[in-house]
């Protein structure tokens, strides 16, 4: 029988990868609506919830990853400097998109390395 603890890290990376994909779609939607009057930018909350779950438990294997689901939230703050009520700052969104792409690449690399290690172990 395979120990589920063995795959805790891979499951966490997969969950994080799903959150980055969702964030990419949300940022793309913000960029596409940057000229839409009264559009409010959206964001994805995931890392904070993950950090809370990890700090509440001593081990990753004790964290129920099914309970941690990325959530799309609307930024309803009134910091819009535009007269049309839209609060999307295209420069910020492009920066967030670049950061998210880097995070995605790192996660893919980590998942690939994990599978390579498993393949090496299984081939011996």
**Which pTM value belongs to this model?**
0.82
Provide the pLDDT for residue 3: 41
**93 vs 77, higher pLDDT:** 93
> How is 66-79 classified by DSSP, letter by letter?
GG---EEEE---S-
C-alpha–C-alpha distance, residues 113 and 7, integer Å: 13
Cα end-to-end distance, the chain, whole Å: 19
Q: What is the torsional sign of CA 78, 82, 85, 89?
A: negative
Question: How many CA within 13 A on the CB side of residue 14?
Answer: 9
> What pLDDT score was predicted for residue 11?
83
If pLDDT is split at 50, 70 and 90, which confidence band does 7 have?
A: low
Say yes or no to pLDDT of 53 above 90. no
* Structural contact between residues 16 and 114, judged by C-beta atoms closer than 8 angstroms: no
Residue 59 has pLDDT above 90, yes or no: no
Q: Is the pLDDT of residue 1 over 50?
A: no
């Amino acid at each position: 029988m395979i120990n589920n603890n063995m795959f805790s890290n891979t499951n966490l990376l997969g969950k994080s990868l799903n959150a980055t994909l969702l964030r990419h779609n949300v940022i793309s939607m913000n960029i596409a609506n940057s000229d839409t009057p009264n559009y409010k930018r959206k964001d994805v909350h995931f890392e904070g919830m993950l950090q809370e779950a990890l700090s509440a438990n001593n081990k990753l294997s004790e964290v129920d990853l099914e309970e941690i689901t990325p959530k799309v939230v609307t930024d309803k703050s009134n910091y819009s400097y535009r007269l049309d009520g839209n609060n999307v700052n295209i420069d910020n969104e492009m920066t967030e998109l670049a950061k998210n792409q880097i995070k995605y690449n790192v996660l893919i690399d980590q998942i690939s390395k994990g599978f390579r290690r498993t393949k090496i172990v299984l081939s011996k």
